[in-house]
């Protein structure tokens, strides 16, 4: 019952708030939708414990969705460790966003509609992460696309908001077209869309190829590639990233929900859910790595020059998603999910913190009109500092001291180096891109802090005089998110990527090379002992594969054995531990500190230098400010190109060819001939007799000519 309430509770709240607002009022709509989300968050925490620690993973069938011939789709809720993690992320962040919105949207006359859309967004994402087959996943996938359109364009009387909503919707349709083709290809190859059926048959289908236009394509590679095209659209990866910054036109709580817990995380979830397909598609995985690394670097560079406080944070989301994707492309699925998990807390904190700034400065979003606000907004300032420290990954390598982003982001960077050392394609490229992006992230993140809170106020004095801290209903969610931004990394590192990753993920994800290299022997020895003690039902023939080579019947407890080495803490050293060099561990911290120092030097020590640099409008600054001119390029190629193509079809195809040969050609000639012939219809009998005579003469001549010919 609990899983059903988790998923369908927000949907019920959305329906009630949307259809019965005139009966329950705005306040009633807020209470009902928020209540359902808080309940879902609490139940998700219980399901998380039940699935992972009580090992009660299961699938709950709800109904037969459709059955046509060999095609069968069941509406089910899949509860495994991967979906349990996503349930916690989605419902907890969404619940806090709902509470926060009580204060942020307090003056909006359409609050019931807003809360209805928020809950609908959450429901669609929950359907996506609990899907047991690709069709149900596609249903949730399209649902979040619809909800994002409604929320980005919530202020529909604002032209820029409508344009942003359409841009997001159309861009995602491009990715979704590839995703739909991927699902069709899956059914064509496997005869099923069920995850279990498809993933279990991947190895048997790995050699299957298709011919198209005289070329051979590996079927699994093609499927993985098409699925990733869908992920590129939803998660705003390079080429399909252009919708994400414009999504800031929606209310700030919407931005927090999209960037932290829904929509953009869907693509990462898809790749991790389908890891058996990507494991069998090395070329596509290399492509994922390249796109992820490119996105991380691109977004980090563009974030350097943006002036809208929300857009800076939006580009940081784009960049951090790049980290997750290149990690997944390198086979670091558990690390990608770890970063997704920690990122949800500090990114929601930063967006809602930005909303607190905007609320306190009376809807001002331009950082060039801010500065010196830390005294008027002290709590928001402190919480934004925490979010920035988490985003930039501040921590001391080799110690448990660090913010959430330190443990997850540095894990990706370190493992990318190790993958490169082991010869995985583009592993070393991803490592260096990750390091450079970390330095850029530090610079633009602290630039945001310094431009917003430090120095002299650059806006109207009246705005600063009336600046105020946000009410408690907005600050409490920020405080709770700050707790996650501080402690989520150290608390869950062992579960996501460390010694407990084997039992944490079970079959839903590989534990990852870090866990395997440092704790694999310990896990296999523990598994062998459990089998021998009768504490697990692992079949005897699987034991040797589980524990590796050697005599599994009598694991020694000396330090020479896996179990003994684990007990003495020497498993990493004694059994080839997975440890990068010391300089690799410290490099991310070094570039992070350098980025902070440079931002301080330009925006605090020499206040105004950055503004003077921007005023020069140099080519590099213009290039970054205009986002590598992607919007202009796409406008020229697609918008103007489509308009030009339409003009060709209209002016040449329609007017000259169709109209020229049709209405203005043959039809016009026939009409002119008919008009001339109609003149013969004079109404005088002698005219008709004369025409009949001509006809008789013509008929006689034809008969005589024809007879003579025979």
> What mean pLDDT is predicted for residues 268-278?
96
> If you average pLDDT over residues 649-659, what whole number do you get?
79
Instruction: Give 708's pLDDT tier (boundaries 50, 70, 90).
Output: very low
- According to DSSP, residue 54 is labeled S
Residue 268 host element (H or E) = helix 264-273
Rounded Cα–Cα distance for residues 161 and 99 (Å): 24
| Cα–Cα distance, 259 to 674 (Å, whole number) | 68
Q: pLDDT tens across 523-546, in order?
A: 878 777 766 766 555 544 444 545
**Among the listed ranges 323-327, 681-685, 689-693, which one has the minimum average pLDDT value?**
681-685
Q: What is the pLDDT of residue 534?
A: 63
Whether 427 and 416 have beta carbons less than 8 Å apart is answered as yes
pTM for the whole structure: 0.88
Task: Report in angstroms the alpha-carbon separations of 290 from 324, 425, 628, 705.
Answer: 12, 10, 18, 83
Complete DSSP assignment for 411-468: HHHHHHHHHHHTT-TTHHHHHHHHHHHHHHHHHHHHHHHHHHHSS---S-HHHHHT--
Percent of the chain with pLDDT over 90: 63
pLDDT value of residue 607: 85
Q: How far apart are CA 140 and CA 131, in angstroms?
A: 8
Structure-block tokens of residue 404? 């959430």
pLDDT reported for residue 577? 66
pLDDT at 510 over 80: yes
- What does residue 689 show for φ and ψ, rounded to 5 degrees? -65, -40
Tokens read off for 130 = 């609990």
Res. 89: pLDDT tops 90: yes
Instruction: Specify which residues 194 forms β-bridges with.
Output: 133
Determine the angle formed by the axes of helices 111-129 and 81-104, rounding to 10 degrees.
170
Per-residue pLDDT for 129 more than 80?
yes
Least confident segment among 243-247, 350-354, 555-559, 587-591: 555-559
Q: Which residues contact 707 (CB under 8 A, 6 or more apart)?
A: none
Burial of 708 (0-12, 13-18, 19+ CB in 10 A): exposed
- The number of helices, as runs of H, and strands, as runs of E, in the chain is 34, 4
Q: Could you report the per-residue pLDDT of 8-21, keeping only the tens digit for each?
A: 999 999 999 999 98
Cα dihedral value 137, 143, 144, 149, nearest 10? 150
Q: Where are the beta strands (DSSP E) in 649-710?
A: none
pLDDT tens digits, residue range 363-420?
A: 899 999 998 899 999 999 999 999 999 999 999 998 999 999 999 999 999 999 999 9
| DSSP character string of 531-583 | HHTT-S---HHHHHHHH-SS-TTS---STTSHHHHHHTT-HHHHTT-----HH
User: Could you tell me if 356 and 380 are in contact, meaning their C-beta atoms sit under 8 angstroms apart?
Assistant: yes
- Please check the confidence at residue 509 and state whether its pLDDT lies above 90: yes
Q: Which two tokens stand for residue 145?
A: 């696309």
């Amino acid at each position: 019952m609990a899983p059903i309430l988790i998923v369908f509770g927000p949907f019920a709240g959305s329906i009630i708030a949307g259809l019965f607002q005139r009966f329950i009022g705005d306040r009633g709509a807020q209470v009902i939708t928020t209540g359902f989300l808080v309940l879902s968050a609490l139940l998700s925490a219980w399901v998380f414990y039940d699935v992972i620690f009580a090992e009660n993973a299961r699938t709950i069938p709800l109904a037969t969705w459709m059955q046509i011939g060999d095609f069968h789709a069941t509406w089910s809720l899949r509860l495994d460790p991967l979906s349990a993690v996503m349930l916690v992320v989605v419902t907890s962040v969404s619940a806090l966003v709902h509470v926060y919105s009580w204060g942020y949207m307090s003056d909006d006359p359409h609050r019931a509609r807003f809360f209805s859309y928020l809950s609908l967004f959450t429901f669609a994402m929950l359907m996506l992460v609990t899907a047991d087959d690709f069709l149900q996943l596609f249903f949730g996938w399209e649902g979040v696309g619809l909800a994002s359109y409604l929320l980005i364009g919530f202020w529909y009387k604002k032209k820029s908001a409508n344009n942003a909503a359409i841009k997001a919707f159309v861009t995602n349709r491009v990715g979704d077209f590839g995703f739909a083709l991927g699902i069709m290809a899956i059914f064509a190859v496997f005869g099923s869309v069920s995850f279990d059926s498809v993933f279990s048959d991947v190895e048997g289908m790995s050699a299957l190829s298709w011919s198209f236009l005289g070329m051979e394509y590996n079927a699994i590679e093609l499927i993985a590639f098409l699925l990733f095209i869908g992920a590129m659209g939803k998660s705003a990866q390079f080429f399909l990233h252009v919708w994400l910054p414009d999504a800031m036109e929606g209310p700030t709580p919407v931005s927090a929900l999209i960037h932290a817990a829904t929509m953009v995380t869907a693509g990462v979830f898809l790749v991790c859910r389908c890891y058996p397909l990507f494991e069998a598609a090395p070329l596509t995985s290399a492509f994922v790595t390249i796109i992820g690394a490119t996105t991380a670097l691109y977004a980090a560079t563009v974030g350097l020059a943006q002036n809208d406080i929300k857009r800076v944070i939006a580009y940081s989301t784009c960049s951090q998603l790049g980290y997750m994707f290149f990690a997944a492309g390198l086979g670091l699925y558990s690390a990608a999910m770890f970063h997704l998990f920690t990122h949800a807390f500090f990114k929601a904190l930063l967006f809602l913190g930005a909303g607190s700034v905007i609320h306190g400065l009376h809807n001002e979003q331009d950082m060039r009109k801010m500065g010196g606000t830390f005294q008027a907004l002290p709590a928001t300032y402190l919480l934004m500092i925490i979010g920035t420290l988490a985003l930039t990954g501040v921590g001391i390598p080799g110690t448990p001291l660090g913010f959430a982003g330190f443990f997850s982001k540095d894990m990706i960077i370190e493992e990318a180096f190790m993958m490169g050392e082991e010869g995985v394609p583009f592993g070393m490229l991803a490592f260096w891109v990750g390091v450079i992006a970390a330095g850029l992230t530090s610079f633009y993140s602290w630039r945001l802090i310094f431009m917003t809170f430090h120095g002299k106020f650059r806006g109207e004095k009246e705005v600063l005089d009336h600046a105020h801290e946000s009410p408690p209903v907005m600050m409490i969610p920020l405080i709770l998110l700050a707790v996650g931004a501080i402690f989520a990394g150290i608390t869950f590192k062992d579960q996501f990527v460390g010694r407990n990753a084997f039992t944490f993920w079970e079959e839903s994800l590989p534990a990852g090379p870090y866990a395997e290299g440092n704790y694999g022997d310990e896990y296999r020895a523990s598994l062998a002992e459990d089998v021998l003690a009768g504490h697990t039902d692992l079949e005897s023939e699987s034991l040797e594969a589980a524990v590796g080579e050697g005599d599994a019947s009598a694991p020694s407890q000396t330090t020479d054995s896996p179990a003994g080495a684990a007990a003495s803490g020497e498993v990493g050293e004694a059994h080839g531990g997975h440890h990068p060099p010391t300089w690799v561990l410290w490099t991310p911290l070094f570039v992070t500190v350098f980025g902070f120092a440079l931002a301080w030097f330009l925006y605090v020590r020499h206040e105004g230098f950055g503004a003077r640099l921007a005023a020069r409008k140099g080519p590099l600054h213009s290039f970054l400010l205009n986002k590598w001119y992607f919007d202009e390029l796409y406008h020229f190629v697609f918008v103007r190109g489509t308009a030009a193509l339409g003009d060709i079809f209209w002016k040449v195809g329609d007017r000259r060819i169709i109209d020229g040969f049709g209405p203005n050609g043959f039809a016009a000639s026939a009409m002119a001939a008919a008009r001339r012939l109609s003149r013969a219809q004079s109404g005088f009998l002698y005219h008709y007799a004369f025409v009949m005579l001509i006809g008789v003469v013509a008929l006689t001549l034809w008969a005589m000519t024809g007879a003579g010919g025979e």
